[in-house]
Structure 1
Amino acid sequence: MDTGTHVVMGISLGGLATLDPTIASDPLLPTSVMIATIIGSQAPDFDTVLKLRNNAVYIRNHRGITHSIPAIFIWPLFITGGIILLTPETNWLTVLLWSFIAVFLHIFVDIFNAYGTQALRPFSNKWLALGVINIFDPFIFFSHLVAFAFWALGLPPGRTMLVLYLVLVSYYFWRIIEKRRVVQLAKTLHPDATHVFVSPSIRWSQWHVVIRTRDVLFVTECKNHQIEYFEQYSFDPIPNIPIINAARKDSNLSAFLSFSPTYRWEVEEKGEITEVRFVDLRYRSKGHYPFVAIVQLDQNLSIISSYTGWVFSEETLQKKLNIVTE
């Protein structure tokens, strides 16, 4: 989820925690627990600082080890330790419990969007991405704000947030059912489909869908339970040829391939430069595919420049590559 949603989730957990009898009987605990749930709801995303290095490092590692099984236990220990240093008299066990819940909830809800997490590390590096909730979901965010408004008007925070979470659980189940309907529709139209990749949009009734058969990739959109076709490409596995093998040694392309499950590739000669381009097909927007990886090589197959990330125009992409092509 986006940062804002994780923040409001942290606040709502702090409100929900007031149902805990231990917190209700200790005047110091509500504040300590609220701090713990807010920090815990953000902690796994502290790896965003990897963007300061480069996109390749960020893409390969974001939502990796910081969202792993060990992280579920390590983050709460750090958070609780910090709070104890500031308020030694606080009930550390209760703070530890609610910081654990906050960290766990952060990692758990991130599994439901198309980006996903490596939540099973160190046992598996597989990305878990259910693709049922958009990175920013207006209903989830604004339902929190409505609950906060009732809280501000004097309703008990614990019961108010409990109702909120019951509503959100129902919402998640509904989104799971809707995604299954999209997948089933795609398979009905293409019984020979080997994979159906579904990414939610910000609109409830609209889904980005890539249908892969043994020979073709269909880029489509499901809107109001109707499939609309945009483009189709031949499904060509990455070939074992010198130019591609040289490009795959680049860290940007390697990071892209570690993350993207469905893409098309192309090789283009541009004078003395050869450009290898990979395009993720899941995020088509207004006829453009913004998530790409590009490697430019010279005639000796040496890498000149490369880039991976989100770009929304060819001009911007070429500026990022810092190469003037003719």
Structure 2
Amino acid sequence: MDTGTHVVMGIALGAVATAVDPAIVGSSAAIGIMTATIIGSQIPDIDTVLKLKNNADYIRNHRGITHSLPGLAIWPLLLSVILYLIFPAAPFWHLLLWTFVAVCLHIFVDIFNAYGTQAIRPFKDTWVAFGFINTFDIFIFASHVVAIIIWLLGAPATTTFFTLYAILAVYYVARYITQRVITHAVKNLIPDSEEVIVASTIRFFQWRVAVTTKDHYYVGRAFKRNISIYEKFDRLPVPDNDIIHAAMKDKNLAAFVSFSKVYNWRIEEKMDGTYVTFTDLRYRSNGHYPFVAVVKLDDDLQIISSYTGWIFSDEKLHKKLHPVTN
């Protein structure tokens, strides 16, 4: 989920903790526990700082080890030790408990996004991604904000937030069922489909659709139960040649391939070099596919420059591949 949603989830959890934990209720430890749940609900996303380094490391590692089983042990213990030094009135084991719950909640809700997490690492490096909740879901965020306001106005925390959680449980089930219905409709529309990806968007009734068959990729959208296929691409194997071998040595392209599930490729010979472009087909937006990896090679197949990330214009891509140097 996005940062704002994790913040309101942390506040909600903190309100519940300070209302139900007998060691905290009515004590000065409440502020320490609330701090623990808010920070605990954020800490797995500390790997976002990798963006400051480069997109390749960010793509390879975001929601990886920080959102894994080891993370469930490391973050609560680390945060509890630090917070206990700041808030000694808060019992350490209760800080540890509620920080652990906050970290669990963060990792748990992230698996429902299309991006997913490596939640079962180190047993498997598989990305767990169900895709039926958007990274920012207005209903989830707004319902938390409303519940927090009601609580701040004097409503009991337990009644307020347990009601919220019950509503959200029904919402998650409804979104899952909707995704399954659309997936079934897509399979009926394209009977030879091998893999169907149906992922939520920020708009409640709209879903992204990407389909893989033996020979083709299909890209479209679903609005409620209506499926629209916008484009069809030949599914061509990546060639086993010197150009591709040289491009694959680049960390940006390697990161892209490790992350993307449905992509096409092209090789273009231009005056200033050879361009190898991989395009993720899952994120079509206004007829454009913004998530790409591009490697520029010279005549000797040495890497000149490269980029992976979100590109919405040729001008921006040109700047990424041809940075201005002094």
TM range (shorter): over 0.9
- Render the CA deviation track for 1:41-79: whole Å, top value 9, x for unaligned: 000001111111100011111111111101011100111
Report if the CA contact (8 A) 1:37-1:98 is conserved: yes
* Counterpart residue type for residue 259 of structure 2: F
**Match of 1:293, SS?**
strand
**Alignment CA distance shift 1:23-1:290 (3 Å):** farther
- Render the CA deviation track for 1:224-251: whole Å, top value 9, x for unaligned: 2111121110011222111111111100
- The Cα shift of 1:26 comes to 5.1
Tell me the distance in 1 between the aligned counterparts of 2:23 and 2:321.
54
**Alignment CA distance shift 1:164-1:133 (3 Å):** same
Instruction: Give unmatched runs, 5+ long, in structure 2.
Output: none
Report if the CA contact (8 A) 2:256-2:308 is conserved: yes
- Render the CA deviation track for 1:270-309: whole Å, top value 9, x for unaligned: 1241111011111111011111000011111111110000
Aligned-pair identity in percent equals 54
Per the normalisation by structure 1, the TM-score is: 0.97
Cα RMSD between the aligned structures?
1.3
Q: State whether structure 2 residue 256 is matched by structure 1 residue 256.
A: yes
Residue aligning to 1:196: 196
Residue aligning to 1:206: 206
- The Cα shift of 1:127 comes to 1.1
Tell me the distance in 2 between the aligned counterparts of 1:157 and 1:250.
52
Residue aligning to 1:165: 165
Tell me the distance in 2 between the aligned counterparts of 1:198 and 1:21.
40
Q: State whether structure 2 residue 146 is matched by structure 1 residue 146.
A: yes
Report if the CA contact (8 A) 2:18-2:25 is conserved: no
**Match of 1:275, SS?**
strand
Tell me the distance in 2 between the aligned counterparts of 1:24 and 1:80.
15
Report if the CA contact (8 A) 2:72-2:103 is conserved: yes
Report if the CA contact (8 A) 1:18-1:158 is conserved: no
* Counterpart residue type for residue 122 of structure 2: P
Residue aligning to 2:302: 302
Tell me the distance in 1 between the aligned counterparts of 2:18 and 2:313.
49
**Match of 1:22, SS?**
coil
- The Cα shift of 1:118 comes to 1.0
Residue aligning to 2:321: 321
Query: Which is worse superposed, 166-175 or 5-14?
Result: 166-175
Report if the CA contact (8 A) 1:264-1:280 is conserved: yes
Residue aligning to 1:41: 41
- Render the CA deviation track for 1:155-206: whole Å, top value 9, x for unaligned: 0112211111111111111111111111111111111100111221111211
- The Cα shift of 1:132 comes to 0.5
Tell me the distance in 1 between the aligned counterparts of 2:146 and 2:84.
32
Residue aligning to 1:285: 285
**Match of 2:283, SS?**
coil
Tell me the distance in 2 between the aligned counterparts of 1:149 and 1:90.
25
Residue aligning to 1:17: 17
Residue aligning to 1:55: 55
Residue aligning to 1:32: 32
Tell me the distance in 1 between the aligned counterparts of 2:152 and 2:20.
20
Tell me the distance in 2 between the aligned counterparts of 1:164 and 1:261.
35
Per the normalisation by structure 2, the TM-score is: 0.97
Tell me the distance in 2 between the aligned counterparts of 1:70 and 1:64.
10
Residue aligning to 2:235: 235
- The Cα shift of 1:18 comes to 3.0
Q: State whether structure 2 residue 108 is matched by structure 1 residue 108.
A: yes
Instruction: Give unmatched runs, 5+ long, in structure 1.
Output: none
* Counterpart residue type for residue 295 of structure 1: V
**Alignment CA distance shift 1:236-1:162 (3 Å):** same
Residue aligning to 1:2: 2
**Match of 1:210, SS?**
strand
**Alignment CA distance shift 1:272-1:316 (3 Å):** closer
Q: How many residues matched?
A: 324
Tell me the distance in 1 between the aligned counterparts of 2:58 and 2:231.
30
Tell me the distance in 2 between the aligned counterparts of 1:281 and 1:32.
45
Report if the CA contact (8 A) 1:198-1:282 is conserved: no
Q: State whether structure 2 residue 218 is matched by structure 1 residue 218.
A: yes
Residue aligning to 2:120: 120
Report if the CA contact (8 A) 1:112-1:133 is conserved: yes
- The Cα shift of 1:90 comes to 2.1
